[in-house]
């Protein structure tokens, strides 16, 4: 049974947040380290046969998703139905006979349709021949001044004239303000998928994200320039004025992006949003949609989530990666803090950045990290976030404008803000070499990511006094910290699939192994064969050491020299061995309103 059974309905959220004062004191704490990883990995594998010999095939748990909660059988509910093959007229007639009406069909996903059906009929339609999986139309929410300098993209522009010019980046978010001078003339397409009939950014999240990807800095004399200021942006609005969206809206937007791929040279998809995981990625309709984009040749970049402080399951924030960031083919991004300087040397992980491994499938995530804390980017006057957090507005004098000038920028925090930095970096690589595949872009960014981190860091929440300790292991920082300059100076081209590896925990030796290649077959869609890029030469190497805790290579070894790590072996075991701690898990805790950390 899925560890997520019995949970309330999902929310897809923008992975960012708000008030300026939060985490304003120095950060990250000295709580015990955990081997909360093992707790996380028992949670990650719970219900799906995770063993130290290797994960069992990621199978679909049953015809109906575990998060259905029928209280009134007559209540109409919207569901996403995955078929074994494109449904014929007879099967669709059977749906109609059970009170179902079709809401959406998709050009590039002929085996997926969205229906409205009486709640009491869901289990019956799930049992019809030809129906593979039925899930709720789950709800989804969202989750610079120093950003460009920290990741090195300023040198890409000034020294290499790489701005992402000619590359289309589709932004699935709350809309983009195409009238903003920083984006003038480069929002080449807009469409609403919320049903509200507007592509305006009423929430204020999507424009901020777009500015990080490709703002020109026109409003600030170039000071707050985005990562790839020459890209073209496609505004695919999937979140409403409150930051709410649905699976079906996101699937429809991805479907449209694939259709428009050749028209606008769409090479990158940015999803600064997410929701909890309810099933293996093989069954999750969001994961299947992002994989379709990946298979079409589009680099998909997704926010990891903001659950790094969530200890409701006793995992110390491990195993809190959201969907669709749990898909092995996307680039999953965690958040770092720039500490107010352009150098990486003093940067620290944001304590709210979600950690791996992924629930159910145990993938190693995030893939890398990027600046996502106290990020200055475009403001949308009068938007929900602008009105809710007036203190986040950036004083115009900070970017050389008169004090009484209209405020053009505001500060936001979260993995929502880290994700567009990686999308911009991907656009730069694709301008440099248009022949690169999504796998090659992912592997290059991971290979060249900076791998210099402290062993641990501590954050103190000034509001509560609670301290949070972060360790710089593979489930916190992935392959490292985004370095655009290193990426464009590299000539490495991976030959094969860059799917994120699976972590397998051995409780008897307190070690991890990475499982790839022909040891795993995931469903009908994916076979991992001999062409996996994670070898001895690519990305990890044999001797990449993450602090004192973990060696990232053929074996992930938990160091016995770290007392804090030893003190929480029990919690570490829980992640792999037991689902009991997840019975009362609250998905809302994954999307709390994060405050900026300094």
Task: Decide if 180 is inside a domain.
Answer: yes
514-540 per-position pLDDT tens digit:
665 333 333 333 333 334 444 433 344
Per-residue pLDDT for 314 more than 90?
no
Residues 133 and 153 occupy one common structural domain = no
Looking at the domain assignment, is residue 509 inside a domain? Answer: no
Q: At what angle do helices 36-45 and 569-577 cross, to 10 degrees?
A: 10
Three-state DSSP class for 461?
A: coil
Under 8 Å between Cβ of 235 and 202: no
pLDDT over threshold 80, residue 36: no
Average pLDDT over residues 409-422: 95
Q: Does a structural domain hold residue 412?
A: yes
**DSSP H or E run through 586:** none
- Tell me which residue range forms the domain holding 396: 142-488
182 and 319, same domain (yes or no): yes
Q: pLDDT tens digit string along 338-396?
A: 877 777 778 899 999 999 999 998 899 999 999 998 899 999 999 999 999 999 999 99
Q: Tell whether the model's pLDDT for residue 587 goes beyond 70.
A: no
Q: Is there a single domain that holds both residue 114 and residue 165?
A: no
Tell me which of 442, 457, 488 is where a domain ends.
488
pLDDT higher than 80, residue 584: no
Q: Which of 488, 505, 540 is the last residue of a domain?
A: 488
Q: How far is CA 93 from CA 83, 89, 98, 101, in A?
A: 14, 6, 9, 10
Give residue 576's Cα distance to chain centre.
22
Query: Per-residue confidence at 501, pLDDT binned at 50, 70, 90?
Result: confident
Domain endpoint, select from 137, 154, 176? 137
Predicted confidence (pLDDT) per residue in 54-97, tens digit: 333 355 666 999 998 878 899 999 999 999 999 999 999 999 99
- Residues across the chain: 598
Domain membership flag for residue 198: yes
Better-predicted residue by pLDDT, 589 or 148: 148
Residues 81 and 146 in one domain: no
pLDDT at residue 160, rounded to an integer: 76
CATH number at residue 476: 3.40.50.200
Domain annotation covers residue 579: no
Could you report the per-residue pLDDT of 152-170, keeping only the tens digit for each?
556 666 677 899 999 999 9
Helix (H) or strand (E) holding 422: helix 415-432
**Cα–Cα dist 513/553, whole Å:** 8
How far apart are the C-alpha atoms of 192 and 539, rounded to whole Å? 38
SS3 call for 220: helix
Instruction: Kindly tell me if the per-residue pLDDT of 187 is higher than 60.
Output: yes
- From residue 302, alpha-carbon distances to 134, 187, 271, 286, 526 in Å are 24, 21, 5, 12, 20
Kindly state whether residues 433 and 288 are assigned to the same domain: yes
In a domain, 55, yes or no: no
**Whole-angstrom Cα distance, residue 134 to residue 283?**
9
Mark whether 87 and 175 lie in a shared domain. Answer: no
Domain for residue 8, yes or no?
no
Residue 413: other Cβ atoms inside 10 A: 30
Residues 171 and 107 in one domain: no
- The number of distinct structural domains making up the chain is 2
Same domain, 301 and 426: yes
Average pLDDT over all residues of the chain: 79
Please give the Cα distance from 460 to 516 (Å, whole number). 38
Say yes or no: 184 and 238 in one domain: yes
Tell me what the mean pLDDT of segment 470-481 comes to.
Answer: 90
Which CA distances in Å does 448 have to 337, 372, 480, 482, 491?
19, 19, 8, 8, 10
215 and 113 assigned to the same domain: no
> Cα angle at 328 between 323 and 333, to 5 degrees?
65
Distance CA 351, CA 306 (A): 9
Burial class (CB in 10 A: 0-12, 13-18, 19+), 589: middle
Residue 445, H or E segment: helix 438-448
Strands 273-274 and 131-136: unpaired
Predicted pLDDT of residue 598: 52
Do 223 and 126 lie in one domain? The reply is: no
Residue 57 has φ and ψ, to the nearest 5°, of -45, 135
Say how far apart CA 52 and CA 504 lie, in whole Å: 6
When pLDDT is averaged across residues 252-259 and rounded to a whole number, the result is: 98
In a domain, 29, yes or no: no
Q: In this predicted structure, what is the pLDDT of residue 51?
A: 32
What are the pLDDT digits (tens) for 199-238? 999 999 999 999 999 999 999 999 999 999 999 999 999 9
Asked if pLDDT for residue 420 goes beyond 90, the answer is yes
- How many angstroms separate the CA atoms of 564 and 445, rounded? 31
Domain CATH number, residue 102: 3.30.70.80
Please give the model's pTM, rounded to 2 decimal places. 0.83
Tell me the catalytic residues. Answer: 173, 205, 416
Dist CA 323 CA 327 (whole Å)? 7
- Are residue 151 and residue 244 in the same domain, yes or no? yes
255-289: burial string, b at 16+ Cβ within 10 Å, e else: bbbbebbeebbbbbbbbbbbbbbbbbbbbbbbbbb
> In which band, very low, low, confident or very high, does the pLDDT at 101 lie, cut at 50, 70 and 90?
very high
List the structure tokens of 525. 């869609």
């Amino acid at each position: 049974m899925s560890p997520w059974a019995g949970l309330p309905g999902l929310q897809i959220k923008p992975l960012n947040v708000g008030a300026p004062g939060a985490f304003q004191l120095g950060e990250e704490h000295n709580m015990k380290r955990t081997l909360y990883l093992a707790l996380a990995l028992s949670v990650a594998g719970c219900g799906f046969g995770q063993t130290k010999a290797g994960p069992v095939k990621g199978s679909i748990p049953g015809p109906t998703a575990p998060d259905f909660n029928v209280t009134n059988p007559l209540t109409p509910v919207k569901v996403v139905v995955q078929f074994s093959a494109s449904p014929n007229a007879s099967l669709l007639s059977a749906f109609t006979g059970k009170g179902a009406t079709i809401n959406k069909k998709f050009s590039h996903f002929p085996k997926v349709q969205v229906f409205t059906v009486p709640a009491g009929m869901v289990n019956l339609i799930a049992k019809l021949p030809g129906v593979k999986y039925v899930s709720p139309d789950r709800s989804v929410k969202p989750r610079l001044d120093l950003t460009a300098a920290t990741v090195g993209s300023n040198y890409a522009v000034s020294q290499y004239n790489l701005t992402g010019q000619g590359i289309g980046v589709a932004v699935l978010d709350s809309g983009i303000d195409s009238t903003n001078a920083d984006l003038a003339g480069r929002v080449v397409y807009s469409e609403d998928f919320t049903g509200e009939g507007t592509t305006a950014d009423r929430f204020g999240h999507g424009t901020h994200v777009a500015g990080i990807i490709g703002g020109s800095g026109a409003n600030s004399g170039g000071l707050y320039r985005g990562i790839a200021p020459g890209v073209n942006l496609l505004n695919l609005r999937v979140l409403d004025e409150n930051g709410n969206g649905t699976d079906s809206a996101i699937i429809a937007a991805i479907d449209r992006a694939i259709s428009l791929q050749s028209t606008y040279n769409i090479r990158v998809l940015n999803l600064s949003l997410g929701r909890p995981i309810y099933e293996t990625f093989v069954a999750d309709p969001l994961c299947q949609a992002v994989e379709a984009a990946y298979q079409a040749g589009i680099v998909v970049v997704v926010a990891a989530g903001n659950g790094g402080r969530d200890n409701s399951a006793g995992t110390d924030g491990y195993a809190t990666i959201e969907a669709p960031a749990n898909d092995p083919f996307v680039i999953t991004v965690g958040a770092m803090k720039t500490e107010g300087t352009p150098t990486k040397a003093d940067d620290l992980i944001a304590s709210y950045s979600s950690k791996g491994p992924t629930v159910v499938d145990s993938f190693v995530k995030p893939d890398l990290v990027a600046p996502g804390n106290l990020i200055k980017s475009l403001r949308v006057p009068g938007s929900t976030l602008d009105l809710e957090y007036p203190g986040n507005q950036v004083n115009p004098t900070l970017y050389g404008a008169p004090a009484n000038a209209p405020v053009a920028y505001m500060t936001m925090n979260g993995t929502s803000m880290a994700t567009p930095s990686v999308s911009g970096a991907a656009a730069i690589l694709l301008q440099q070499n248009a022949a690169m595949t999504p796998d090659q872009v992912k592997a290059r960014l991971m290979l060249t990511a900076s791998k210099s981190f402290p062993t641990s860091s501590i954050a103190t929440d000034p509001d509560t006094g609670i301290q949070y300790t972060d360790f710089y292991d593979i489930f916190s920082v992935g392959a490292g910290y985004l370095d655009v300059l290193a990426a464009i100076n590299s000539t490495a081209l991976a030959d094969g699939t860059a799917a994120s590896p699976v972590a397998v925990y051995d409780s008897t030796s307190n070690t991890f192994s990475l499982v790839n290649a022909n040891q795993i077959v995931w469903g009908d869609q994916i076979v991992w064969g001999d062409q996996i890029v994670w070898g001895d030469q690519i990305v990890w190497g044999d001797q990449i050491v993450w602090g004192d805790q973990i060696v990232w290579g053929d074996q992930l070894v938990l160091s016995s020299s770290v007392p804090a790590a030893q003190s929480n072996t029990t919690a570490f075991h829980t992640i792999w061995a037991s689902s009991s701690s997840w019975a009362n898990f609250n998905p809302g805790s994954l999307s709390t309103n994060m405050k900026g950390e300094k």
